[in-house]
Amino acid sequence: MGRQAKIVLLIVGLAGILAVCGYLGCGWTAARMMLGTEESFERQNMTVTEARGCVSVPLPDEASDISFYGYRCWQAVNDNLRFHAPQKVCLSHLKTIFDDWAKSGEFHKVDAAATQPTTITRQERPRPPSNTDHSATRRGDSDRAWFNPDDIRNGVHAGGGPHTPEVWVDLDRGIFYYRMTD
């Protein structure tokens, strides 16, 4: 096989991979991930306008002090989001998150029972020591001090499990937490 034939074969092969990714609705990001590119992104204290440019889930207009961490590598996904908003807004946003997830793909069916908030009540307890091993961050296991749903003493929780968003609302502090892992 000549050099030109090898180049044509390579181009056709790459075009085929991109076409399959486009057909599956995953575009160039998925192609990069298929090639093993590791990506992570973190921003804190964003406004709604800033956050909407980098966060893939809907945000309420009333959200403030928005922090986001996203990690992608091959099939691994870890998104952590936190924002402040009035309690009523946080509670109504639970449904928005799960409705948006269900609309985003045919395999994103969410069990209705899993999206019903369950009450969280905890006694005050000391926080465990922070993980200082930074290899966890490289794997996408976020150890972000701002993402602390375990500190909720009075709140609600919904979702979770494989391929399903998980949401917490701190009713005392008006904080909404979102996590998506895959």
Residues 75-133: tens digit of each pLDDT: 778 889 999 999 999 999 999 998 888 887 755 666 666 777 888 887 654 444 444 43
Answer whether 0.85 is exceeded by the pTM: no
Cβ-proximal residues to 39 (8 Å cutoff; 6+ apart), any chain: 32, 70, 71, 72, 73
Sequence spans of domains, the chain:
1-35, 36-181
Mean pLDDT of 10-33: 57
* Position 142 confidence tier, pLDDT thresholds 50, 70, 90: very low
In 18-101, DSSP assigns E strands to: 38-46, 64-73, 76-84
Give the per-residue pLDDT at 115: 74
Instruction: List b or e across 14-48, with b for residues whose CB sees 16 or more CB atoms inside 10 angstroms.
Output: eeeeeeebeeeeeeeebbebeeeeeeeeeeeebeb
Comparison of pLDDT for 19 and 85, the residue scoring more: 85
Q: Is the pLDDT of residue 59 over 90?
A: yes
**pLDDT tens-place string over residues 127-140:** 444 444 333 443 44
Share of residues in the chain with pLDDT > 90 (%)? 35
Considering only 48-57, 63-72, 131-140, 169-178, which range has the smallest mean pLDDT? 131-140
Q: Is the pLDDT of residue 141 over 90?
A: no
Q: Which 3 state secondary structure label does DSSP give 5? A: helix
Mean pLDDT of 140-148: 71
Give the per-residue pLDDT at 123: 64
* Position 56 confidence tier, pLDDT thresholds 50, 70, 90: confident
Give the per-residue pLDDT at 108: 61
